[in-house]
Amino acid sequence: MKSPEDYCSVYDGASVANFGFSVLITLGIIASYIPQYLRIKEKRTSEGLSTNFLLLGSCSSIFTFTNIILVSSRARQCCFSGQLTLFNCLNSQLNLIQIGIQCLCALLILVFVLILTRYSDKQDHEEYKKIVTVGHWVTLHGVISLLQILFAVVMNDHGLLLSIANLNGLLSTVLTMVKYAPQIHTTYRLKHPGTLSIGMMCIQTPGGFLFTFTLMYTKGSHWSSWISYMTAAILQGCLLSLCIYYEYFRDHGLAAEIAERREVDRIVEENTREGSPLIHH
């Protein structure tokens, strides 16, 4: 059986170069979401965004964040006991910081859709109600994940903690695979990307592979924390290819522009007939 010192020694000798690269990746994560936020603000509609994609994407991020909180707990114990230097301690929590930021950025897509499209004439009312329901389910999932973490901490059993972490990591991977199916189907059906940001995906697809590699090679990393990001990068690449085809290559993008304009005009006309765009709950 390994002693606490043996476990903590895993986090010794952290690379300064890897740390610096990981910090840049973290900044890149934040930057990659900005085009999507700006597109939601510009479009003021969820047109093109699958509600299932919003739900499964948000829950997948929460699963991964729960996983890394549990996986990195042993490193934090080493930090608190003083067995790691400040740099090695900070480096051992890089994955937690990166995934935490990524989770927050992913959840903000749902938050911005809820806030910025609520009073918009371009927003389909029935679709908005579905997105509100998504928000409720995501909030419930967040509460359940918090209870999982508290349970694992109270039980203070590393084997149980790792089992819960692995379960969350695997569920995140499954949801990552499942979430792209409805979004790819939505994009294929509409024949245009709509509010889905091509700029965001252009940054995130190659960035996803880089992010995966930094997670893999960080001291004390665990496969359950990075497998979902590898899966997401592959599937997002497929979605990006589809969006680029419709936006730039199929009839030079004219068909996509016409399809999007026609759908938005239909929604505006329906909202005008209904009267106020305000959605009551």
What is the chain's length? 281
Q: What would the two tokens of residue 169 be? A: 């990591």
Looking at residue 223, its pLDDT comes to 78
Please compute Rg for the chain using Cα positions: 21
Between CA 92 and CA 222 the distance in angstroms is 12
Closest CA to 271 of 140, 124, 64, 65: 124
Looking at residue 195, its pLDDT comes to 82
Looking at residue 188, its pLDDT comes to 87
User: Which residues have CB under 8 Å from 272's CB, separation 6+?
Assistant: 121
Q: How confident is the model at residue 5 (pLDDT cuts 50, 70, 90)?
A: low
Structural domain spans, the chain = 37-274
pLDDT tens per residue, range 226-244:
888 888 889 889 999 999 9
Cβ contact 176:235 at 8 Å: yes
pTM beyond 0.85: no
Place of tokens 């990006």: 240
- Determine which of 25-34, 156-165, 234-243, 258-267 has the lowest per-residue pLDDT on average: 258-267
Cβ contact 103:65 at 8 Å: yes
Q: How confident is the model at residue 281 (pLDDT cuts 50, 70, 90)?
A: very low
Closest CA to 16 of 99, 95, 90: 90
Whether pLDDT at 280 is above 70: no
Mean pLDDT of the chain: 86
Whether pLDDT at 107 is above 90: yes
Q: What would the two tokens of residue 35 be? A: 């085009």
Cβ contact 125:42 at 8 Å: no
Q: How confident is the model at residue 194 (pLDDT cuts 50, 70, 90)?
A: confident
pLDDT tens per residue, range 123-134:
998 999 999 999
For residue 185, give Cα distances in angstroms to 176, 182, 243, 263, 274.
Answer: 15, 5, 12, 17, 29
Between CA 169 and CA 53 the distance in angstroms is 18
Give the long-range contacts of residues 1-10, CB within 8 A, separation 24 or more. 4/77, 4/78, 4/81, 4/83, 5/83, 7/74, 7/78, 8/75, 8/78, 8/81, 8/83, 8/84, 10/219, 10/220
Q: Find the mean pLDDT for residues 31-39.
A: 93
Cβ contact 244:196 at 8 Å: no
Q: What would the two tokens of residue 120 be? A: 């918009």
Give the long-range contacts of residues 6-10, CB within 8 A, separation 24 or more. 7/74, 7/78, 8/75, 8/78, 8/81, 8/83, 8/84, 10/219, 10/220
